[in-house]
Structure 1
Amino acid sequence: MDLEARKYQFIQQLVKVDDESVLEKLELVLKANQGDWFDELSESEQIEIQIGLDQAEKGEFTSNEDVMKRFSK
């Protein structure tokens, strides 16, 4: 069965669903499959995150342990 036929069969089954909780679960699955949260960020936010990831890869960060020691005084 090709993809289009599977989609059509799914739609036919979906029309018959009368349980609200089943529909809610299906909606969650579809929303989770629609894209990455990162894509919803602004370009400047994406750039800042990438800068942070690059710094972490290079070891240019302060560990959580060091931060906690500093601010616990």
Structure 2
Amino acid sequence: MDLAARKYNFIQELSSIDENLLEKLELFLKTNQKDWFDELSIEEQKEIEIGLKQADNNELMTHTEVMNKFKKWH
């Protein structure tokens, strides 16, 4: 059975389940969703954490400041 047929059959089954089982399925789906951050490499996670710490320490530049700084290359 291909994926589309399996999905169709699953939807058909869902239409006849009781509320208790539906709640359990909803909870299962919610708790098994992956966080996008966990999908990043360790290096990417570290870089984001560094950026967040810099933001917390007010080590920021506005978009205008960045554009002015790099105008010489354009």
The equivalent of 1:69 in structure 2 is 68
Figure out how many residues of one structure are paired with residues of the other and give that number. Answer: 50
Q: Which runs of 4+ in 1 moved over 6 A?
A: none
The offset of 1:46, in angstroms, is 0.6
| Fraction of identical pairs, as percent | 49
Specify the alignment match of 2:52 in structure 1.
53
Which structure 2 residue ranges, 5 or more long, are not aligned? 1-18
Q: TM-score, normalised by structure 1?
A: 0.51
1:36 and 2:52 correspond: no
Looking at structure 1, the residues matched to 24 and 62 of structure 2 have their Cα atoms a distance apart, in angstroms, of 52
Greater radius of gyration (CA): 2
What is the distance in 1 between the residues matched to 2:61 and 2:24? Answer: 53
Of the three residues 22, 26, 32, the one matched with 1:6 is 22
Q: Distance in 2 between matches of 1:42 and 1:68?
A: 29
Query: Once superposed, what is the RMSD of the aligned Cα atoms?
Result: 2.9
Gapped regions of structure 1 (runs ≥ 5): 10-29
Residue 72 of structure 1 and its aligned partner are, at CA, apart by 2.6
